[in-house]
Amino acid sequence: MPVETATENLTPQEREQRGEQLKRDGIVIRTYDLWKTYIMGDQEIHAVSGVDVQIKRGEYVAIMGPSGSGKSTLMNLIGCLDTPTKGLYYLNGKLASDMEDDELARIRNKEIGFIFQTFNLLARASALQNVELPLIYAGIASSERSNRAREALRSVDLEQRMYHKPNELSGGQRQRVAIARALVNRPSILLADEPTGALDTHTGDEIMTLFARLHEQGNTIVLVTHEQDIAMHADRIIHIRDGKVERDEQVRSPALPLP
């Protein structure tokens, strides 16, 4: 292991300096020997066991692995929905692994756009209101909220459906609303867990085409999937097995970063 992964003995000041260095280097996600261990009775389950990953701004990465390999657990750590048992996690230069719940919620809302398999939209709210939601949490004024939500819906070609409620939209359209909601805060990363899992093949392809476009526009995308076909849309595939990185594969050369 490289010397720089020896993180146990860093002073708080050194940890902060490392975060600043990562940010200067354009590294949005960096984990050092990250662990998540569940205790079940007298058994320890290492769902994530010693993961070192580094993802740069503008990358398009798939995390792939069999059921139970730790993908969702890792994604929850990366998305600041959960805290590690051990190890360091820097998100956009900030040491998220040290944060308390309220601080984590704040960094999550600012830095991460989530996309889930089942969309997770509010049933009674219009597309526009659903997309505005993260801006309400972020304390953005109402007129700007509306403008930004429309702009996000336009970026997924759904402006003409903004007053529709989820049950008045197709599956693919619902997922596009969820993607607009994920984009509206201009997060550092888009984090998607099986985003095409609830869609038919054709609609799933449309969503993957949309991801490709968002990536070309400069977004950083991390996608969790167990399907090879879906993973092949990314530039890089991180293969996970038994909570560890089994293989880190560059499947095509990364797009040049936008100026």
Ligand X SMILES: Nc1ncnc2c1ncn2[C@@H]1O[C@H](COP(=O)(O)OP(=O)(O)OP(=O)(O)O)[C@@H](O)[C@H]1O
Residue number with CB closer to ligand X (86 or 226): 226
| HEC secondary structure over the chain | CCHHHCCCCCCHHHHHHHHHHHHHCCEEEEEEEEEEEEEECCEEEEEEEEECCEEECCCEEEEECCCCCCHHHHHHHHCCCCCCCEEEEEECCEEHHHCCHHHHHHHHHHHEEEECCCCCCCCCCCHHHHHHHHHHHCCCCHHHHHHHHHHHHHHCCCHHHCCCCHHHCCHHHHHHHHHHHHHCCCCCEEEEECCCCCCCHHHHHHHHHHHHHHHHCCCCEEEEECCHHHHCCCCEEEEEECCEEEEEEECCCCCCCCC
Shortest Cβ distance from residue 35 to Mg ion (Å)?
18
Contact partner at residue 256 from Mg ion, ligand X, none, CB < 5 to 8 Å by partner kind: none
Contact partner at residue 15 from ligand X, Mg ion, none, CB < 5 to 8 Å by partner kind: none
Contact partner at residue 70 from Mg ion, ligand X, none, CB < 5 to 8 Å by partner kind: ligand X
Contact status: 188 vs Mg ion (CB under 5 A): no
Contact status: 72 vs Mg ion (CB under 5 A): yes
Q: Enumerate the β-bridge partners of residue 244.
A: 241
Size of the site for Mg ion (CB under 5 A): 1
Residue number with CB closer to ligand X (226 or 239): 226
Contact partner at residue 218 from ligand X, Mg ion, none, CB < 5 to 8 Å by partner kind: none
Contact partner at residue 226 from Mg ion, ligand X, none, CB < 5 to 8 Å by partner kind: ligand X
Q: Which residues bind ligand X (CB under 6 A)?
A: 38, 40, 45, 47, 65, 67-73, 226
The answer to whether the CB of 29 falls within 8 A of the CB of 55 is yes
Residue number with CB closer to Mg ion (221 or 240): 240
Contact status: 69 vs Mg ion (CB under 5 A): no
Residue number with CB closer to ligand X (65 or 79): 65
Residue number with CB closer to Mg ion (72 or 203): 72
Q: Residue 218: name the closest of 194, 254, 178 by CA.
A: 254
Shortest Cβ distance from residue 54 to ligand X (Å)?
20
Residue number with CB closer to ligand X (115 or 156): 115
- Residues 28-67 close enough to bind Mg ion by CB under 5 A: none
Residues that bind Mg ion (CB under 5 A): 72
